[in-house]
């Protein structure tokens, strides 16, 4: 791991986002809570928060951090859902890996919960995809 002991403790924030492309019928089922596994967005939100809190256990050489806040939001469109994850800390290193991990796991959870209605007659996912995962903002707040 990189030594960060000499760096000052300061408020840090990172925001990441990504999207999952789904069939419009699937998105409608999510909105009407007609997915057999349960409430998709609430489950994905909890999964994303849990992933953020466990990032240092998932990604080798990431520092365990004392997080001060996590926000996970979803924007539902006709054929996609955008996940945005904001992470805050008071620490010596940034939280962009935590934000990216939250987005990734949130989107993976959506896929897992809707896969029964997303797959085609051959059991494949020809149009389902996760993409556009990126850090929107990383900042030190003085």
- Give catalytic residues, as residue numbers: 112
Instruction: Give the Cβ contact number of residue 78 at 10 Å.
Output: 8
Q: How far apart are CA 114 and CA 27, in angstroms?
A: 9
Residue 44: name the closest of 88, 103, 97 by CA: 103
């Amino acid at each position: 791991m990189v030594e960060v002991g000499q760096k000052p403790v300061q408020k840090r924030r990172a925001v990441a986002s990504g999207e999952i492309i789904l069939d419009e019928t699937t998105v409608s089922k999510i909105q009407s809570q007609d997915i057999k596994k349960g409430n998709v967005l609430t489950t994905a939100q909890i999964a994303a928060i849990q992933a953020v809190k466990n990032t240092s256990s998932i990604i080798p050489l990431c520092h365990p951090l004392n997080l001060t806040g996590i926000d996970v939001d979803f924007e539902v469109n006709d054929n996609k859902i955008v996940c945005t994850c904001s992470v805050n800390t008071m620490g010596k290193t940034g939280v962009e890996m935590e934000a990216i991990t939250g987005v990734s796991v949130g989107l993976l959870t959506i896929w897992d919960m809707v896969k029964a209605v997303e797959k085609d007659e051959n059991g494949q996912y020809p149009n389902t995809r996760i993409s556009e995962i990126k850090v929107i903002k990383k900042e030190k707040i003085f």
